[in-house]
């Protein structure tokens, strides 16, 4: 995206404007008579139309004009805001977004406008006309004149208000030959003179067949407040009977805008920039400044003519420490720069709930908490779809109809609660509904029907609930348009895990369900545990590590073939990474086990050596290596070599799978 | 010496479009994103022209124009405000506040340059 493209800047602005209008509309839906909200919507639409026309978004400007007109009437008390009007304008929002992006379907506009007119009957006057098409008659020929004689006096405060009389006279001279006479008779004596007061009168004779408008145009800004006599000078031999121009004074506005054709442009998505509070940039700038100073110290040392002395070594060490501190501070600041409040995400869900309530005919209220919680921008974007799906599910399957709710002794309006909070290095997001809860019998029946569980097989409650994350699993007796949109809970789970997060369910029959998402704060840098297997080094995300212990020769021997260790009365399967990775070097005498856990499952990883904790900057794998399982990415170590980052989900699943197979065999 | 112009608008796209047009014509352009920032910049140095939006957060254009007119450093500085076709009353208010002239939105770069040339003292 070009930084120099106002149209691109407008797209970003338009997205913000539309979001603002939408929020106001949703508030208005609750308080239909709130005049401030009506004003907010009107102003937003007005700005959108005006700027849209500026940057060649003519279709947007024309369409928005209709909505603006509708709200103008509401604003002026000529019409009433109604739920239907708000709903139509909300659909119009979507169309405007499409118009901003340049991919609006042609027909949609008329359909929405038809609904708009139905929602707000026109009051005689045609409610909608294309904006800024001027009716001004094309340049009417001025009657034949030889020139003008004008006498004028500017408003006394003209100069104080920035009008320069000399510039006006110059402009008149630009129209034709000019004779100017200044009349200073109104000027007071010098000691009574206010230099800012404009008290001089002028008389000007202007030659040429100049249209009256051209002269009036010179004085356009002061016209209303000044004294002026303007008389045409007719040619000495009049041969026409044309009366002097008696045109009404021209509208005090600039001429019609030229229409800029809307070229098909590459449309950069509006969400690709991050807004950053200035003070955060200042902090970063300070650190960069310090870094530059340290760098110059380092250069000085490198260029010093002396060989490495003890003194030099101390200086070098202090520089290294300084750089380490600065880099870690810059890293922290940088991560904060990428943070956006989750309110940006939650805002969208109000609209979703509004639409869902209409579609399902249920009464639904949305309660949100913790909107100020900040998450990495990329994380926020990727969370949108899973949360939309969970909210859809909650509204469609979870919440009962008003009648059912009343029968069950609940308030008729269903409630969906969305919360966000920070917990350690994670963001905790919950989606709760107070509906009927997950029907475990039906989940069980479905799982058996799909062959996921054997009839009669014992299954813990969490395991049973997690069945809904299997691909193709759906408990809805009937697939409605809401939930049957092709995305399943398995996709939700995969997306969350792709963010290195987890998803948990709690559900009480008759009282509702809660889905809890735990997402790491940022994707770019993690705390890792650096280990060695054979000659290769690997990183294990520290959040997944439960404990490290030694694999004694005794345990090792005893577990041959079984690959299980006893950990405080629990058997934990383990994987020998040397075997897994085909390491051919001699194993270390004292092998270690790193116990990792995810989603309640534990697996031990046998490694040669635990090197220590490591700040890991995650680099994604190249396309060639992406199909490789067991690794989720790579990082570059201090010595420049590459260490692979272990994929915890995969390894835990692999360990558990092997154990299950061994158990089946044994 | 090139004329220096301050543009005050909360819309980044409008500021950008204005800057492109004005710098393209050889003017020096300073920008502010609301009335508070505009006033602060107007306090700092004299401009040959100030172009401002009226509807802005923090401090609206009318208030800013009134306050700028109190600044000795900006005595007689032309102030052009941007308006839309529908607010005629606002136009009167802005003139009463001390604005020199106006430019109707939407406008084309040529119109902006014409107005600029018109009010700039030579």
How sure is the predictor about A416, in pLDDT bands with cuts at 50, 70 and 90? Answer: very high
- The reply to whether residue B69 touches residue A161, judged by beta carbons under 8 angstroms, is yes
Using a CB-CB distance cutoff of 8 angstroms, which residues of chain A are in contact with residue B121?
Answer: 164, 166-167
Among A643, A555, A560, smallest CA distance to A591 is for A555
A318 touches chain B (CB under 8 A): no
Residue-wise pLDDT for A515-530, tens only, equals 999 887 766 677 889 9
Q: What is the pLDDT of residue B78?
A: 92
**A531 strand-pairing partners:** A538, A610
- The reply to whether residue B98 touches residue A4, judged by beta carbons under 8 angstroms, is no
Higher pLDDT, A89 or A625: A89
Q: How many CB atoms lie within 10 A of CB A508?
A: 12
Is pLDDT above 50 for A401? yes
Using a CB-CB distance cutoff of 8 angstroms, which residues of chain A are in contact with residue B111?
Answer: 254-255, 257
**Chain A (29-88) residues lying within 8 Å, Cβ to Cβ, of chain B:** 43, 46-47, 50-51, 53-55, 61
Question: How many CA atoms are closer than 13 Å to the CA of A639, on its beta-carbon side?
Answer: 3
CA A390/CA A385 separation, integer angstroms: 9
- Using CA atoms, how far residue A298 sits from A291, A294, A312, A658, in Å, is 10, 6, 11, 54
Task: Determine the residue among B9, B12, B13 to mutate to test chain A binding: the one whose Cβ has the most chain A Cβ atoms within 10 Å.
Answer: B13
Q: What is the pLDDT of residue A246?
A: 44
CA A183/CA A197 separation, integer angstroms: 15
Among A144, A201, A142, A202, smallest CA distance to A173 is for A202
CA A479/CA A466 separation, integer angstroms: 20
Q: What is the pLDDT of residue A3?
A: 55
Indicate the pTM of the whole model.
Answer: 0.57
CB-based contact A420:A369 (threshold 8 Å): yes
Planar angle of CA A194, A199, A202, nearest 5 degrees: 150
Instruction: Classify A562 as helix, strand or coil.
Output: coil
Q: What is the pLDDT of residue A561?
A: 63
- Using CA atoms, how far residue A388 sits from A335, A357, A420, in Å, is 26, 14, 15
The arithmetic mean of pLDDT across residues A328-347, rounded, is 82
Using a CB-CB distance cutoff of 8 angstroms, which residues of chain A are in contact with residue B102?
Answer: 221
CB-based contact B89:B60 (threshold 8 Å): no
CB-based contact A399:A416 (threshold 8 Å): yes
- The reply to whether residue B17 touches residue A161, judged by beta carbons under 8 angstroms, is no
- A355-378 burial string, b = 16+ CB within 10 Å, else e? bbbeebebebebebebeebbbbbe
- Using CA atoms, how far residue A453 sits from A261, A446, A449, A507, A559, in Å, is 62, 9, 8, 20, 29
Radius of gyration of chain B, Cα coordinates, nearest whole angstrom: 13
Question: How many CA atoms are closer than 13 Å to the CA of A224, on its beta-carbon side?
Answer: 11
* Global ipTM: 0.83
- The reply to whether residue A164 touches residue B121, judged by beta carbons under 8 angstroms, is yes
Q: What is the pLDDT of residue A54?
A: 82
How sure is the predictor about B30, in pLDDT bands with cuts at 50, 70 and 90? Answer: very high
If you search the block for the tokens 């980044």, which residue do you land on?
Answer: B12
Q: What is the pLDDT of residue A247?
A: 44
Q: Which of A47, A161, A257 sits opposite B107 (nearest CB)?
A: A257
CA A177/CA A205 separation, integer angstroms: 8
Higher pLDDT, B99 or A299: B99
- The reply to whether residue A160 touches residue B76, judged by beta carbons under 8 angstroms, is yes
Give the tokens for residue A450: 């799909």
A621: left (phi over 0), alpha (psi -120 to 50) or beta: beta
- B46-80 burial string, b = 16+ CB within 10 Å, else e? ebbbbbbbbbbeebbbbbbbebbbeeeebebbbbb
Is pLDDT above 60 for A65? yes
- The reply to whether residue A6 touches residue B14, judged by beta carbons under 8 angstroms, is yes
CA A433/CA A398 separation, integer angstroms: 7
Higher pLDDT, A233 or A415: A415
SS (H, E, C) B1-66: CCCEEEEECCCHHHHHHHHHHHHHCCCEEEEECCHHHHHHHHHHCCCCEEEEECCCCCCCHHHHHH
Using a CB-CB distance cutoff of 8 angstroms, which residues of chain B are in contact with residue A55?
Answer: 13, 17
CA B17/CA A642 separation, integer angstroms: 47
Give the tokens for residue A620: 């994604």
A275 touches chain B (CB under 8 A): no
Is pLDDT above 80 for A112? yes
The alpha-carbon gap from B61 to the nearest alpha carbon of chain A, in Å, equals 15
Instruction: Classify A447 as helix, strand or coil.
Output: helix
Least confident of A120-134, A167-181, A499-513, A518-532: A120-134
Chain CA centroid to CA A50, Å? 23
- The reply to whether residue B17 touches residue A54, judged by beta carbons under 8 angstroms, is yes
Higher pLDDT, B46 or A245: B46
- The reply to whether residue B13 touches residue A161, judged by beta carbons under 8 angstroms, is no
Is pLDDT above 70 for A545? yes
CB-based contact A631:A647 (threshold 8 Å): yes
Is pLDDT above 60 for B88? yes
Q: What is the pLDDT of residue A245?
A: 44
Higher pLDDT, A425 or A349: A349
Give chain B's length: 122
Q: What is the pLDDT of residue A483?
A: 45
Sequence-distant (≥ 6) Cβ neighbours of residue A610 within 8 angstroms? A529, A530, A531, A548, A592, A594
Is pLDDT above 80 for A40? yes
Residue-wise pLDDT for A587-620, tens only, equals 888 889 999 887 677 889 999 999 988 888 777 7
Q: What is the pLDDT of residue A599?
A: 64
Q: What is the pLDDT of residue A605?
A: 92
Alpha helices in A144-277 (DSSP H): 165-175, 212-218
Residue-wise pLDDT for A115-162, tens only, equals 888 887 655 444 344 444 344 444 444 456 788 888 888 888 888 888
Is pLDDT above 70 for A270? no
Is pLDDT above 80 for A269? no
Sequence-distant (≥ 6) Cβ neighbours of residue B34 within 8 angstroms? B8, B10, B56, B57, B58, B59
- By C-alpha distance, the chain B residue nearest A72 is B86
Least confident of A176-185, A293-302, A465-474, A640-649: A465-474
- The reply to whether residue A55 touches residue B76, judged by beta carbons under 8 angstroms, is no
The arithmetic mean of pLDDT across residues B3-15, rounded, is 90
Residue A512, exposed/middle/buried by CB under 10 A (0-12, 13-18, 19+)?
Answer: buried
How sure is the predictor about A647, in pLDDT bands with cuts at 50, 70 and 90? Answer: confident
Which of A78-87, A261-270, A404-413, A455-464 ranks highest by mean pLDDT? A404-413
Q: What is the pLDDT of residue A140?
A: 46
Is pLDDT above 70 for A194? yes
Q: What is the pLDDT of residue A134?
A: 40
What's chain A's average pLDDT? 79
- By C-alpha distance, the chain B residue nearest A4 is B16
The arithmetic mean of pLDDT across residues A435-458, rounded, is 85
CA A564/CA A115 separation, integer angstroms: 68
DSSP per-residue string spanning A304-359 = -SS---HHHHHHHHHHHHHHHHHHHHHHHHHHHHTEEETHHHHHHHHHHHHHHHHH
Strand pairing of A525-533 and A536-541?
A: antiparallel
- The reply to whether residue A254 touches residue B104, judged by beta carbons under 8 angstroms, is yes
CA A63/CA A104 separation, integer angstroms: 11
What's chain B's average pLDDT? 87
**Chain A (537-566) residues lying within 8 Å, Cβ to Cβ, of chain B:** none
CB-based contact A644:A539 (threshold 8 Å): yes
Strand segments, DSSP code E, in A342-436 are 364-369, 374-376, 414-423, 426-433
- The reply to whether residue B106 touches residue A159, judged by beta carbons under 8 angstroms, is no
Sequence-distant (≥ 6) Cβ neighbours of residue A195 within 8 angstroms? none
- The reply to whether residue B120 touches residue A167, judged by beta carbons under 8 angstroms, is yes
The arithmetic mean of pLDDT across residues A279-306, rounded, is 82
**Chain A (129-158) residues lying within 8 Å, Cβ to Cβ, of chain B:** 131-132, 157
Instruction: Classify A38 as helix, strand or coil.
Output: helix
- By C-alpha distance, the chain A residue nearest B81 is A221
């Amino acid at each position: 995206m070009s930084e120099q493209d106002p149209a691109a800047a407008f797209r970003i602005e338009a997205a913000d404007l539309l979001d603002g209008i939408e929020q106001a509309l949703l508030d208005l839906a609750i308080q239909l008579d709130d005049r401030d909200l009506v004003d907010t919507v009107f102003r937003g639409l007005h700005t959108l139309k005006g700027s849209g026309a500026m940057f060649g978004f003519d279709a947007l400007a024309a369409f928005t004009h209709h909505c603006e007109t509708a709200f103008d009437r509401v604003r002026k008390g000529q019409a009433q805001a109604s739920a239907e009007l708000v709903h139509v304008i909300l659909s119009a929002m979507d169309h405007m977004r499409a118009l901003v992006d340049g991919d609006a379907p042609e027909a949609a506009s008329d359909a929405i406008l038809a609904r708009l007119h139905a929602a707000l009957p026109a009051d005689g006057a045609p409610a909608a006309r294309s904006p800024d098409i001027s009716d001004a008659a094309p340049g009417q020929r001025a009657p034949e004149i030889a020139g003008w004689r004008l006498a004028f006096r500017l408003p006394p405060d003209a100069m104080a208000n920035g009008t320069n009389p000399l510039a006006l006279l110059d402009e008149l001279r630009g129209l034709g030959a000019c004779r100017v006479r200044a009349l200073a008779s109104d000027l007071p004596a010098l000691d009574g003179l206010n230099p800012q007061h404009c008290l001089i009168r002028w008389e000007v004779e202007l030659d040429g067949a100049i249209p009256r408008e051209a002269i009036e145009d010179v004085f356009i800004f002061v016209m209303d407040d000044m004294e002026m006599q303007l008389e045409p000078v007719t040619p000495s031999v009049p041969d026409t009977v044309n009366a002097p121009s008696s045109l009404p004074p021209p509208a005090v506005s600039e001429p019609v805008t030229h229409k800029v054709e809307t070229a098909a442009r590459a449309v950069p998505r509006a969400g690709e920039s991050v807004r950053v509070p200035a003070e955060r940039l200042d902090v970063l700038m300070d650190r960069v400044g310090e870094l530059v100073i340290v760098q110059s110290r380092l250069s000085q040392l490198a260029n010093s003519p002396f060989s490495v002395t003890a003194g030099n070594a101390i200086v070098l060490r202090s520089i290294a420490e300084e750089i380490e501190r600065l880099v870690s501070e810059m890293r922290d600041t940088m991560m904060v720069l990428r943070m956006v409040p989750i309110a940006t995400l939650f805002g969208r869900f109000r609209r979703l709930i509004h639409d869902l309530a209409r579609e399902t005919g249920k009464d639904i209220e949305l309660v949100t908490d913790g909107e100020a919680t900040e998450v990495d921008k990329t994380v926020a974007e990727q969370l949108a779809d899973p949360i939309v799906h969970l909210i859809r599910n909650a509204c469609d399957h979870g919440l009962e109809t008003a009648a059912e709710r009343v029968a069950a002794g609940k308030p008729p309006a269903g409630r969906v609660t969305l919360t966000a909070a920070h917990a350690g290095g994670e963001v905790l997001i919950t989606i709760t509904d107070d509906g009927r809860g997950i029907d475990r019998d039906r989940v069980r029946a479905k799982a058996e029907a799909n062959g996921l569980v054997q009839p009669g097989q014992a299954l813990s409650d969490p395991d049973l609930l997690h069945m809904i994350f299997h691909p193709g699993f759906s408990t809805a007796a009937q697939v409605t348009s809401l939930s049957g949109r092709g995305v399943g809970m398995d996709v939700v789970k995969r997306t969350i895990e792709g963010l290195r997060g987890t998803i948990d369910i709690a559900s009480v029959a008759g009282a509702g369900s809660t889905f809890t998402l735990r997402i790491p704060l940022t994707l770019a840098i993690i705390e890792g545990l650096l280990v060695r297997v054979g000659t290769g080094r690997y990183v294990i995300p520290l959040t997944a590590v439960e404990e490290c212990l030694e694999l004694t020769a005794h345990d090792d021997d005893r577990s041959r073939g079984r690959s299980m260790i006893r950990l405080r009365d629990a058997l934990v399967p383990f994987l020998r990474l040397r075997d897994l990775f085909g390491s051919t070097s001699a194993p270390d005498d004292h092998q270690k086990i790193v116990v990792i856990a995810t989603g309640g499952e534990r697996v031990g990883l046998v490694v040669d050596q635990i090197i220590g904790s490591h700040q890991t900057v995650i680099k994604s794998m190249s396309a060639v290596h992406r199909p490789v399982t067991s690794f989720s990415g790579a990082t570059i170590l201090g010595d420049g070599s590459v260490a692979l980052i272990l994929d915890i989900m995969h390894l835990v699943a692999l360990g558990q799978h092997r154990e299950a197979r061994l158990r089946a065999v044994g | 010496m090139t004329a220096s112009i301050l543009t005050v608008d909360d819309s980044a796209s409008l500021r950008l479009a204005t800057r492109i047009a004005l710098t393209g014509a050889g003017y020096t352009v300073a920008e502010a994103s609301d009335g508070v920032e505009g006033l602060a910049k107007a306090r700092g140095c004299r401009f040959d022209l100030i172009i401002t939006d009226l509807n802005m957060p923090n401090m609206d254009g009318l208030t800013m124009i009134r306050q700028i007119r109190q600044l000795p450093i900006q005595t007689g500085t032309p102030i052009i405000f941007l308006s839309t076709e529908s607010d005629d009353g606002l136009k009167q208010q802005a003139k009463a506040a001390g604005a020199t002239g106006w430019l109707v939105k939407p406008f084309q770069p040529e119109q902006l340059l014409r107005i600029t040339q018109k009010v700039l003292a030579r």
